[in-house]
Amino acid sequence: MGYRVGVDIGGSFTDFAIFDEQSKTLRSLKVFSRPDQPGAEVLEGVRGLAARYGVSPGEITYFTHGTTVGVNTVVQRKGLKLALFVTEHFRDVLELARLKIPDMYSLLSKRPAPLVSRDMVFGIAGRMLADGSIVEPLDEAAVEAAVQAASAAGAEGVVISFLHSYRDGALERQAKAVVERVSPGLPVFCSSETWPIVREYERTITAVIGGYVQPRVSHYLGSLQSALKDLGVPADPRLTKSNGGIMTAEQGKQQCVQMILSGTASGVIGASYVAETCGIDRCMSLDIGGTTADVALIVDGRPQYGVGERIGDFQIFIPSVSVSSIGEGGGSIAWVDRLGVLKVGPESAGSRPGPACYGLGGDRATITDAFVATGLVGHSDLGYNAVHVDVGKARAVVGHLAERLDRSIEQTAEAIVNIAVSGMFSEVSGLLSRFGVDPRDFSLLAFGGAGPMMACFLARELKMREVVVPPTPGVLSALGGLIADLKNDFIRTLYLDLGPGAMPVLKEAFAELRANALSWLKDDQGYDGPYALAFSADMRYRGQSFEIDAALDSESIESGRFEALAEAFHVAHEQMYGHADRTAPVQLITARLVISGKTEKPQFPKRKLRPGRAVSDKSVEVFLDGAKCSVPLYRREALAPGDTFEGPAIVAQDDCTTVVLAGFVASVDEFGNLRIVLGASA
């Protein structure tokens, strides 16, 4: 028996969730993030566990970690200087992309510069057709010349992405061997090995992003492994993945593209677990940290998945938990433009210097400072005593903006909050419209350091049925990594007309995927427990440009019942678009298999409800909804299952502050969650 530790690095704080395997209890901790020294915050937190809870490094038996190193590398454009080898006459694949501009409503919108400049893109003779046949052999002399030219231009790595390599990576592997022979030690990345999807741009940009971040991520993971070992942690770290699963650190060094969205995925997995435990069938998660606000839809305890999530200026086409960034975080900076208009974000104060109220040198007003200036936040220390809130500094920086706007400090602070909420409302409305769902049917599960602080404001605008705040909302992303299953995706592009003749090929493809999946789980991950297999395929009607993923029945695949597979697609198409054509021919483009190995989950204690009125700790003066008023402040640790109270009110705890607005009634359920209902009566 020991302790299982989950870690999530955010823009301001790094969060720790600690599960005691013997007592089955969950604890948490926060330390400042260190973007100047990635990984330093993890080591500081491990030491803090010993100081705060008496958990020695040697007692940590399981360690999971979500990191933003890959994302930050792309956003800050601090990755490798890459050369890109493509099929001759296809040098413009990154420049052309999908011919879309970032903002379709702005005439001044510009597409970002590619991660590989065009002078570092080299065309190589050699041609494979869409059926996998080679009509022109690879020109190895051209590869040698390209390597020499790329090296002379300062290339630190090479990405190889040839036409139709999703069918067969033979030409890419041949070119890779030439590069390794000519320039030993130069990192080489093949698109067919990174993620062999159909469509040239999508496969190429995914491989480029993987190669761009791989050395930096690999170095970070290696340093983390060594540091944890030096501290005496016996568990080798596991990493949360973009698809909501986990993998070993060694695998992460080689396949870092699979973990590039690990941070956002962890939060949604944690939220899904809470929603499933509480029986919330329709839920929208709201994760607000120091830099961004992210939302995801959770139905029946399961998050939604997709491809094409955005990494900075680019999309990456790997399976991932579908998360949308909808606004600013608690550290987002408020400012007045040259026309005298108050705006919020996107620039963030991060953890260093952070909001002015942190007292670490921040001198610009942030959303957190605005909440402090209104009196809604600042009645206790933040981040497990990591921050002593300086109300005077918060009011001073908000005051600078107030002078320019000719308003009071409180009015300016509330305007900052309203602007941030307005931006979130606009983005969430678009997201919900895209999925065709009504927000009034959903609960809003708020977490992150600033999520509970802002959730009621957003729920009030969207008229959502309730806000749910888990017991330790500030570290739910860390909990998500802790409870994530071992999980991996396997694909094979087939391009088949779905019919009797396609079934032997499809059956063979899924058998190969199944063998690869079991080998990954048992041999690579060292897992020998129960597992689950999920079969699906990307399909479309013949003539359509894009396909959709449809879940498949393994029995139908084995028995060759292609009609059942076609019907699965018709149903999926009907659910998404409202219609289906069961007489139209169907094409199966890509076979997919997801394998999951179950990990141990902490069981939240269920306590008996004892209905009663909650007792406040004290009353505090706040500025809310345009007026000063006195509201009760409750201590989260003093609230018991069954306690109720009405808004407006404040709930303070170690990792966050929850603001309950007028018109809401809050109660504590049997799992210790705050259930804040709009329009209820006590």
Task: Judge whether 550 and 569 are in contact, CB under 8 Å.
Answer: yes
Residue 681 has pLDDT above 60, yes or no: no
Radius of gyration of the chain (CA): 26
Tokens 């697609």 found at: 569
For 635, half-sphere exposure in the C-beta direction (CA atoms, 13 angstrom radius) is 6
**Could you tell me if residue 540 is inside a domain?**
yes
The count of domains in the chain is 3
The string of pLDDT tens digits covering residues 304-338 is 887 888 887 888 899 888 888 777 788 889 999 99
Give the model's confidence band at 59: pLDDT under 50 very low, under 70 low, under 90 confident, else very high: very high
pLDDT at 80: 93
Looking at 125, 156, 186, the residue that finishes a domain is 186
Q: Does 346 sit behind a cis peptide bond, omega within 30 degrees of 0 on the bond before it?
A: yes
Same domain, 89 and 147: yes
Task: Judge whether 600 and 613 are in contact, CB under 8 Å.
Answer: no
Q: Which domain holds residue 514?
A: 486-597
Same domain, 641 and 569: no
**Could you tell me if residue 214 is inside a domain?**
no
Alpha-helical (H) ranges within 127-199 are 140-152, 170-182, 191-194
Residue 405 has pLDDT above 60, yes or no: yes
Same domain, 555 and 640: no
Looking at 186, 207, 235, the residue that finishes a domain is 186
Q: Which of 611, 613, 605 is nearest to 673 (CA)?
A: 605
pLDDT at 682: 39
Other CB atoms within 10 A of residue 557 CB: 21
Residue 360 exposed, middle or buried by CB count within 10 Å (0-12, 13-18, 19+): middle
Cα separation of 334 and 349, whole Å? 10
Residue 602 has pLDDT above 70, yes or no: yes
**Could you tell me if residue 554 is inside a domain?**
yes
The string of pLDDT tens digits covering residues 511-522 is 999 999 999 999
Q: What percent of the chain has pLDDT over 70?
A: 98
The string of pLDDT tens digits covering residues 421-461 is 998 998 888 778 777 788 999 999 999 888 999 999 999 99
Give the model's confidence band at 139: pLDDT under 50 very low, under 70 low, under 90 confident, else very high: very high
Looking at 597, 622, 649, the residue that finishes a domain is 597
Task: Judge whether 21 and 1 are in contact, CB under 8 Å.
Answer: yes
pTM: predicted TM-score of the whole model, two decimal places: 0.83
**Could you tell me if residue 165 is inside a domain?**
yes
Helices 262-278, 476-483: axis angle to 10 degrees equals 90
pLDDT at 407: 95
Residue 477 has pLDDT above 50, yes or no: yes
**Could you tell me if residue 581 is inside a domain?**
yes
End-to-end CA distance of the chain: 44
**Could you tell me if residue 666 is inside a domain?**
yes
Give the model's confidence band at 386: pLDDT under 50 very low, under 70 low, under 90 confident, else very high: low
* H/E run at residue 230: helix 200-231
Q: Which of 528, 467, 479 is nearest to 651 (CA)?
A: 467
The string of pLDDT tens digits covering residues 182-201 is 999 999 999 999 999 999 99
Same domain, 576 and 546: yes
Same domain, 649 and 566: no
Same domain, 93 and 171: yes
